[in-house]
Amino acid sequence: MSVRLRFPLGIFVAFAFVSPSFADTATNTLAVNLNVVQTCTVASGTLSFPTDTFGTPIQSDPATITVTCNAGSTAPTITIGVGSNALAGVVPRRMKLSTGAEFLAYTLTSGATAIVTDTGMPLTDNADSTYSAALFATTTVPESATIGSYSDSVVMTVTYTN
């Protein structure tokens, strides 16, 4: 009988030293922030001249330049560089023959306005955070021009304030 009394007494002693566990919580707030700044992108077409005879001025098909900015942006400005075939101090711009060292001069216009190198070009505000302008190129192919493909690359720079 003494064995039976010791076993329940051992269980009682074991439970006497066990503390009950309770779940507890702690809370805090996570801050989430975002600062949206003005961002603009520029897209352009290609200025392509029609196949024409030499000696008379020809105008390219228009290329539409579109600047898209996020909502609430200030109006951007765009400048057009001189081109990759520029010759220091020489105006107008030049297209280079793909298979040689020959050049053809050309000018850029937007409407009736000549595009001056590295000067702001007027853009139309389309009221939906886009701005655009139609750009044309004009050249006269001299009789002495070598047959072939001529090209140039012109950098457009969009400036906007945040």
Q: Residue count of the chain, please give it.
A: 162
Average pLDDT, the chain: 85
CB 140 within 8 A of CB 58: yes
pLDDT mean by block of 10 residues, the chain; 162 residues: 54 59 89 92 92 85 94 88 82 89 92 83 89 93 92 92 76
Map out the domains of the chain as residue ranges: 40-159
pTM of structure: 0.73
- Distance linking the first and last C-alpha atoms of the chain: 91
Tokens of 68: 């898209």
DSSP summary character for residue 153? -
Per-residue confidence (pLDDT) for residue 54, from 0 to 100:
83
Assign domain 40-159 to a CATH class. mainly beta
Contacts of 140 (CB under 8 A, 6+ apart): 54, 55, 56, 57, 58
Per-residue confidence (pLDDT) for residue 2, from 0 to 100:
52
- As a whole number of angstroms, the distance between CA 75 and CA 38 comes to 10
pLDDT digits (tens, 9 = 90+) for 40-54: 999 998 999 988 778
